[in-house]
Amino acid sequence: MTKKEKVAFVVETLERLYPNPPIPLDHKDPYTLLIAVLLSAQSTDARVNTITPKLFALADNPYDMIKFSVAEIREIIKPVGLSPMKSKGIYGLSKMLVEQYNGVVPASFEALESFPAVGHKTASVVMSQAFGVPAFPVDTHIHRLMYRWGLSNGKSVVQTERDAKRLFDKVLWNTLHLQIIYYAREYSPARGWDVTKDIIFNTIGRKSLKQKKS
């Protein structure tokens, strides 16, 4: 198969399996999504979704959030891990939103990436899922699968994002990155990977990879 044919196969397969992929992090607006994505770093969406209801019941907007101390925020979010850094980030970005943006999350990569604890991936998720701006956030799942499928060299998430944006039509990005995540969790996990069930890998994948059954 040519690379163009491989890309078409990926898109067709994912569209068939996940025609309407939901956003995995529970939220109600750009602010709560931003906080949820920040919390998801080196954690799972499921774990974050168990913590955010308690946090948002106390503060679901930046004005209420800065009424709490970093220590108080940290106590609530401890179960998701990296709570010292994340609590400082939540307080810091909330303060910036109040002081510089009238409490409104800006629809700007540059502005989002200027907030504490917010990197390019987090900004990309918010721009994509909250504002509908074409973006291709690359997490560990997407990075792993783009390499397994032979569509990127696996050397860095920066390169993987560049390759994904080059190979897939821009109009697909916002849905496709979610579809890949759901596929990775179900058919191509990092551990316990059963290659016999991995439809896409068996059709277009790097055959040099060691094939392991769970």
Which residues are catalytically annotated? 121, 139
d(CA 26, CA 23) in angstroms, rounded, equals 7
Going by C-alpha positions, the residue among 109, 107, 105, 104 that lies closest to residue 136 is: 109
In the block, residue with structure tokens 């991995």: 198
d(CA 3, CA 115) in angstroms, rounded, equals 38
Q: What is the CA radius of gyration of the chain?
A: 18
Query: Which residues, 6 or more positions from 122, have their beta carbon under 8 angstroms from its beta carbon?
Result: 34, 37, 38, 41, 112, 137
d(CA 148, CA 73) in angstroms, rounded, equals 39
